[in-house]
Amino acid sequence: MQVIPVVDGRRGFGQTARRDAWWKTPALIFVALSLFVVYATWAAFQNAHYAFGPYLSPFYSPELFGASSHAWLGPKPEWWPGLLPFSPALIILPFPGLFRLTCYYYRGAYYKSFWADPPACAVGEPRKHYRGEQSFPLILQNIHRYFMWVALVFIALLAWDVWKALWFADPATGQVHFGVGVGTLVLGTNVVLLACYTWGCHVLRHVVGGRLNEMSKSPVCEYAYSCVSGLNGRHQLFAWCSLVSVMSADLYVRLCSMGMIHDLRLF
């Protein structure tokens, strides 16, 4: 039998035998995620131009306190600490934000892109030890299983926003009419993509699949499991599509509110 010697050689940072452009994907992800974080942070701090007619930006939904007619509990409360900047988005965005940050797909993506751990498969990384997600601080990523439930509630709330985006007030008479505008389609597409992303969550797959080490025999659970598994197989696709759609929906409402574009009523 032929014996092939195995050499235990640790690669230096970026060293690899790969000949393909392995750096392209992590570089692209770095740019795309950075752009999203910069835009979302900027939009969240604006506290303006987040609503237009029946449309509400998904970054500001649900609007608990705020100046628009969509606010559930009225304007900025008296007790709000003066030193803290106020924006309805800052109150709610940590929930979907942490859901996305702790997502299994995004973890794999930003570990590679942002701290090169490793930069790509079979490419040398800049550190010698691997502590993994079993110890602090990455063990906190396990909160994903709780944030999934919150994200499911957000999907219901955003779907409610789409329903409200179907009712337009006549500026002359004040009467409300059923209708569809481009903004309705933008918000509707966003909630569909967000739902496909959230319902394809790895945790939800376990929840609907059955108990520990045992698949459920219930036909309803089996059907739900196959649906969630189907979405989970395209989780990466929906992760990116929903990221783009949520940003586009905010931008659309913002530009309409600023008078830079006009919302087209389809009927």
Binding site for ligand FES (CB under 6 A): 103-105, 144, 148, 201-203, 235
Burial of 118 per CB tally in 10 Å (0-12, 13-18, 19+): buried
Min separation Cβ 241 and ligand FES, Å:
13
Min separation Cβ 62 and ligand FES, Å:
20
Indicate the residue type of 31. V
Which of 136, 133, 83 minimizes the C-alpha distance to 107?
Answer: 133
Min separation Cβ 207 and ligand FES, Å:
11
**What CA–CA distances, in Å, run from 191 to 6, 55, 115, 175?**
52, 13, 31, 27
Give first-to-last CA distance, the chain, whole Å. Answer: 77
Contact between residue 154 and residue 195 where contact means Cβ atoms under 8 Å apart: no
Min separation Cβ 219 and ligand FES, Å:
25
Contact between residue 216 and residue 184 where contact means Cβ atoms under 8 Å apart: no
Which residue, 131 or 234, is less far from ligand FES as judged by CB? 234
Which residue, 104 or 160, is less far from ligand FES as judged by CB? 104
CA 72 to chain centre: 23
Min separation Cβ 146 and ligand FES, Å:
11
Min separation Cβ 52 and ligand FES, Å:
29
Which residue, 122 or 244, is less far from ligand FES as judged by CB? 244
Which residue, 30 or 104, is less far from ligand FES as judged by CB? 104
Cis omega (within 30 of 0) on the bond before 81?
A: no
Which residue, 69 or 142, is less far from ligand FES as judged by CB? 142
Which residue, 164 or 202, is less far from ligand FES as judged by CB? 202
d(CA 14, CA 101): 25
